[in-house]
Structures are given as structure tokens and as C-alpha cells.
Amino acid sequence: MSHAWMPGSPCGQGCLGGQEPTVGRVVRVLRIVGVVTVVLLSLLSLLFLPLIGGRGRNWLTRAIFRAVLVAVGVRLVVHGEIPGPGRGALVVNNHTSWLDIVAVNAVRPMRAVAKKDIASWPVLGWLVSAAGSVYVDRENIRSLPGTVAALADTLRAGAMVNVTPEGTTWCGLTHGRFRPALFQAAIDGGVPVLPVALRFRLRGGAATTAPAFIGDETIVDSVRRTAALRGLVIEVHVLDEIAPGRAQDRHELARLAERAVDDVLVPASLPAENHWTSSAVEVAR
């Protein structure tokens, strides 16, 4: 059951553009076949994850997520560097597409806080669950304190965890406010917050909303539309960490992280209230 604090987005099917260049039918079919192949291979790989150690699991997980990007025809471009394992951090980014979690994990595999229905998604849900994700029930606000406590314990133990603090997806030309609740886990866990800005664009540089996962469509619909695009690029901008103690409370911490992402996504000519987001990624065609 929904509640007054449940995240919502004004974005819908009318936000998805439709003027982007597309590939031919044969290439689309090959891309879908490629994604299905990665799905099947990733399922087999889950059997070996307990046997190959932490370093092996990180390598294999990153390889699988990069293979998803390659299969669907997306290039991944990374600006900055996500620190290696051994120190906990709350990694927060703007949320546009199912490709967000793929891109972040293609750079650095990590746990995630995800809505509970992602667990039932094919491949992506299985991989996210295998990575030790913390699931949140957005429809049950009473479960939030327990989620925050579990997340704080995970961070305190040295894990890096990815969170999308808007709570829902937006079209990419606009994004929502960073909600402060889960930032409390970084404060309680005594770990830094690492903001990451994701931009989706076409090869020529133009912003695109086509990869957005919004409205009532299914994950299959979104994957098919993404696979049809020509020259899709995802840029991952890794920004400066926000050190523990820099913010007085979770509200200020959320504002600092949101402002850092806006510095990448919002053109200088626009006021801060007009959240504009283009998006991008780089892997290979």
C-alpha cells in the first residue's frame, strides 16, 4: 500500500523522446540475443561465486555487467575513480534507468539498496541479490528504521553500498530531490558518502531520455527500446567524497550530495531548482 512519503516521479511515456537514431532490425535482434546469452552465462556463474574468493568475485561480477553493456550496444565512459575494497562508503547517484546499476557495477562491483521487487527481475535481480544487496520496502514506511540499521551495519563492516536516494526513476532531463533517510546510515556507520553523477547521451553529445525506465512499462520494454538505440553512451562521473562529520545531520548530508551531482548535471545557465540531467556511459559497440 502506498503512503504520503512514497517517492513519485512526474515523468511518463511522454518524456521518452523518440527522435533518437536507431539500429536496424538485425542488429536489434543480435543485441537481444546477446543480452539473453549474458543472462544464461551469469546464471551459471552464480554457482562458482562462492569458490573463487573476493577478488575473483569482483572481477567476474564486473565482467558480467560490462558484458551487459556491450551486448545492448552501450559505451561506458568513466570520469574519476571509485576506491577499492576495504573501506565502507555510501555511494549515491541520480536514478534514470535500469542501466544505472549496471554502469556502477561495471566500474566497481558493490552491494546496493534496492526496492524489493528488483529481486524478482531476471538476471539483474539475481546478480544484485548475489552481491548481498539490502532491499527496501517502499510501500511499508515502518520498515525503514530496520533498513537503515541494517545498512549502517553493512557500511560499518567495510562494505561499499550503492543507493539511489531519489527513490524512483526520472527521465534524465530532470531528477528528483535526494531524500535524506538513508543518509542516516552513513552517519551511524561513520563512513563517507561518495556522490556519482550519471549522464546519458548519444555519440554526438546530445542528451537522450530514451534509456529511462519510467511509467508503467516493464523491464523487457525498456531493454528492447535501449537495444534499438544507435550510439548510446553512459558517463559515470565519480565526485569528491563527503567525509564523516562534514554535515550536521542527514538532511544537510543529502543536500551536499545532491549539490555535488547537480554541479555535473545542471548547466550553469539554469537555476538550481531546475534539475536538468543528461546522461551517458562508455563500453563499446
Quick: pLDDT tens for 208-241: 888 888 767 788 888 898 999 999 999 999 999 9
- pLDDT of 280 strictly over 60: no
Question: Which residues are CB-contacts of 44 (< 8 A; sequence separation ≥ 6)?
Answer: none
Q: What is the pLDDT of residue 172?
A: 63
Q: Average pLDDT, stretch 66-85?
A: 93
220 alpha-carbon distance from chain centroid: 17
- Confidence label for 278 from pLDDT (cuts 50, 70 and 90): very low
In the three-class reduction of DSSP (H, G, I as helix; E, B as strand; rest coil), residue 214 is classed as coil
Lowest mean pLDDT among 13-17, 72-76, 141-145, 150-154: 13-17
Closest CA to 186 of 254, 110, 263, 86: 254
Q: Average pLDDT, stretch 202-208?
A: 87
Task: Return the residue matching grid coordinates 537481444.
Answer: 32
Is residue 156 a contact partner of residue 88, using CB atoms and an 8 Å limit? yes
| Alpha-helical segments (H) within 131-205 | 144-156, 183-189
Distance CA 183, CA 230 (A): 37
Task: Return the residue matching grid coordinates 563517507.
Answer: 192
pLDDT in tens, 11-23: 556 666 668 899 9
Is residue 114 a contact partner of residue 246, using CB atoms and an 8 Å limit? no
Domain extents in the chain: 13-265
- Burial class of residue 183, CB neighbours in 10 A (0-12, 13-18, 19+): buried
- Confidence label for 10 from pLDDT (cuts 50, 70 and 90): low
90 beta partners: 161, 193
Amino acid at 161: V
In the three-class reduction of DSSP (H, G, I as helix; E, B as strand; rest coil), residue 114 is classed as strand
Cα dist from 201 to 173, 212, 275, 283, whole Å? 11, 12, 16, 13
| Higher pLDDT pick, 267 / 91 | 91
**167: alpha, beta or left? (left if phi > 0; alpha if psi -120 to 50):** left
Name the percent of the chain lying above pLDDT 70.
Answer: 80
